[in-house]
């Protein structure tokens, strides 16, 4: 039976999640140097175009067609059989296509998250091929295992409400692999580039936070009490994480920065994602705090020691946040919040924590290996990195023959 309220909420949520990809574009675009801002906006925006087509042709089928195999197969190729009647396994009260388009937005933003790791130095053609292969061979299988009907991690009891594993852990680990493989940007030793437009970063954060209500609360797939709980919990984690990051900076560096505070909020949002449908608002405040503490240590302390150039901290925020959030779900989940879920360790069920750990191990190991293989293959055929002159001149002019800003009129 189609429920009009549920359908309206999922459609609206789909639009909210769509907005997150341009939001991410501004978030990342403000952080790079001005000679590269268009390349980042373009990489994000083209994901909307390329992956929509991918999703409709075979991505949705690979991810969500029912089956116990490696992925869903091609029975829903070209949306064949994905109609306007509800599908019991995927939100039984909304048209199947509403679920399909909602999930499309997740498939779009996940590869876009990785852009933060290789910003300012990847060739555009190689980027397109890499992203398409990554969506096909990393995103779709993981998505099927965790969310698809018959998926083995789902059957094992792994809980990932809105994408802590499928979206943030996978993108974050892929980011680390690519950052290590492609190498550091030129001249980083003398001259660590400042973000060219912090207001743009703040605008992007605002759009991401706004869109995240669709991402998380929309994942209830219904306009009900659970969706409200998820909404409240999501907001709580973002707020407490932003505050925590500002305090950490205040203590360690003497001043709280805008850049740090918004980064903290995003870390909180990424971290609460897997548990958003299973934890209480009070737990969310704690999870948000832990998110900023972990990501702050990762970005401000550990990254400089290892010296890899995860340029915009895609791993530091989404990878660490996704892993922490998925494990935290195994601690803080409570059946009082969502009877369809399970209790976590703090509510008397230590087994759930182990199950969450297995989910993370599988996702990390699979993503590490397959992302590396895809990277090497694309590098052989398309050459991943721009040459030195192109990098110094900037990707806007060399990849797109455009520039973002004029000097005089």
Partner 1 sequence: MKLIIAIIQPYKLEAVKEELYNVEVNLITVSEVLGHGRQKGITEVYRGAKETGNLLKKVRLEIAVNEGFVEPTIKAIVKGAKTGETGDGKIFVLDLKECVRIRTEERGGVAIG
Interacting residue with partner 1 among 88, 190, 255, 348 (CB under 8 A): 190
Distance from the Cα of residue 376 to its chain's centroid: 23
Compute the distance between CA of residue 85 and CA of residue 143 in angstroms, rounded to an integer.
23
Binding of partner 1 by 192 (CB under 8 A): no
Q: Which CB atom, from 242 or from 394, has the smaller least distance to partner 1?
A: 394
CB of residue 336 to partner 1, shortest distance in Å: 56
CB of residue 38 to partner 1, shortest distance in Å: 11
Q: Which CB atom, from 33 or from 154, has the smaller least distance to partner 1?
A: 33
For residue 324, the number of C-alpha atoms closer than 13 Å in the C-beta half-sphere is 27
Q: Which CB atom, from 255 or from 389, has the smaller least distance to partner 1?
A: 389
Q: Which CB atom, from 170 or from 399, has the smaller least distance to partner 1?
A: 399
Binding of partner 1 by 389 (CB under 8 A): yes
Taking residues 338 to 377 in sequence order and writing x for each that binds partner 1 by CB under 8 A, - otherwise, the string is ----------------------------------------
Binding of partner 1 by 385 (CB under 8 A): no
Compute the distance between CA of residue 353 and CA of residue 347 in angstroms, rounded to an integer.
11
Binding of partner 1 by 188 (CB under 8 A): no
Return the range that interacts with partner 1 (CB under 8 A); candidates 124-132, 167-175, 282-290, 398-406.
398-406
Binding of partner 1 by 402 (CB under 8 A): yes
Taking residues 32 to 51 in sequence order and writing x for each that binds partner 1 by CB under 8 A, - otherwise, the string is ---x----------------
Return the range that interacts with partner 1 (CB under 8 A); candidates 8-16, 185-193, 309-317, 334-342.
185-193
Binding of partner 1 by 191 (CB under 8 A): yes
Compute the distance between CA of residue 286 and CA of residue 346 in angstroms, rounded to an integer.
13
Q: What share of the chain is helix, strand, coil (3-state, %, to 5)?
A: 70, 0, 30
Taking residues 55 to 84 in sequence order and writing x for each that binds partner 1 by CB under 8 A, - otherwise, the string is ------------------------------
Return the range that interacts with partner 1 (CB under 8 A); candidates 88-96, 97-105, 264-272, 388-396.
388-396
Q: Which CB atom, from 380 or from 408, has the smaller least distance to partner 1?
A: 408
CB of residue 52 to partner 1, shortest distance in Å: 22
Binding of partner 1 by 316 (CB under 8 A): no
The DSSP code sequence of 138-174 is: IIHHHHHHHHSTT-HHHHHT---SSSIIIIIIHHHHH
Binding of partner 1 by 187 (CB under 8 A): yes
Angle at 232 between CA 231 and CA 236, to 5 degrees: 120
Q: How far is CA 240 from CA 152, 208, 213, in A?
A: 34, 16, 16
Other residues' Cβ atoms within 10 Å of the Cβ of residue 228? 12
The DSSP code sequence of 273-319 is: TTTTTTS-HHHHHHHHHHHHHHHHIIIIIIHHHH----TT-HIIIII
In our burial notation (b when 16+ CB lie closer than 10 A, e otherwise), range 37-68 reads bbbbbbbbeebbebbbebbbebbbbbbbbbee
Contact set with partner 1 (CB under 8 A): 35, 186-187, 190-191, 389, 392-394, 397, 400-403, 407-408
């Amino acid at each position: 039976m189609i429920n009009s309220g549920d359908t309206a909420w999922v459609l609206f949520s789909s639009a909210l999640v769509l907005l997150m990809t341009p939001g991410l574009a501004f978030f990342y675009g403000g952080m790079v140097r001005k000679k590269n801002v268009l390349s980042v906006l373009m990489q994000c925006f083209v994901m909307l175009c390329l992956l929509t087509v991918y999703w409709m042709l075979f991505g949705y089928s690979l991810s969500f067609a029912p089956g116990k195999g490696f992925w869903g197969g091609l029975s829903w190729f070209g949306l064949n059989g994905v109609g306007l009647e509800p599908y019991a396994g995927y939100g039984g009260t909304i048209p199947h296509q509403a679920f399909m388009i909602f999930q499309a937005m997740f498939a779009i933003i996940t590869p876009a998250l990785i852009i933060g790791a290789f910003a300012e130095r990847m060739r555009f053609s190689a980027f397109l091929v890499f992203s398409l292969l990554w969506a096909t061979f990393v995103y779709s299988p993981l998505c099927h295992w965790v969310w698809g009907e018959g998926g083995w991690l789902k059957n094992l009891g792994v809980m990932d409400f809105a994408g802590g594993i499928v979206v943030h852990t996978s993108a974050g680990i892929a980011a680390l692999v690519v950052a290590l493989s492609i190498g550091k940007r030129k001249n980083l030793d003398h001259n660590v580039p400042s973000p060219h437009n912090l207001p743009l970063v703040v605008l992007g954060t605002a759009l991401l936070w706004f869109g995240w209500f669709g991402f998380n609360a929309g994942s209830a797939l219904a306009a009900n009490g659970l969706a409200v709980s998820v909404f409240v919990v999501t907001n709580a984690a973002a707020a407490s994480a932003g505050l925590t990051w500002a305090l950490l900076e205040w203590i360690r560096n003497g001043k709280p920065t805008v850049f740090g505070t918004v980064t903290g909020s995003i870390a909180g949002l990424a971290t609460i994602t897997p548990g958003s449908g299973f934890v209480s608002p009070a737990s969310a405040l704690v999870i948000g705090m832990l998110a900023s503490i972990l990501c702050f240590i990762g970005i401000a302390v550990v990254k400089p020691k290892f010296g890899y150039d995860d340029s915009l901290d895609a791993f530091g925020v989404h990878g660490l946040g996704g892993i922490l959030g998925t494990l935290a779900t195994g601690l803080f989940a409570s059946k009082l919040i969502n009877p369809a879920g399970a209790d976590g360790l703090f509510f008397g069920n230590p087994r759930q924590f182990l199950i969450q750990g297995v989910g993370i191990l599988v996702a990390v190991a699979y993503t590490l290996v397959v992302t590396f293989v895809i990277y090497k293959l694309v590098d052989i055929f398309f050459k991943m990195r721009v040459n030195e002159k192109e990098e110094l001149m900037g990707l806007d002019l060399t990849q797109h023959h455009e520039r973002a800003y004029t000097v005089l009129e």
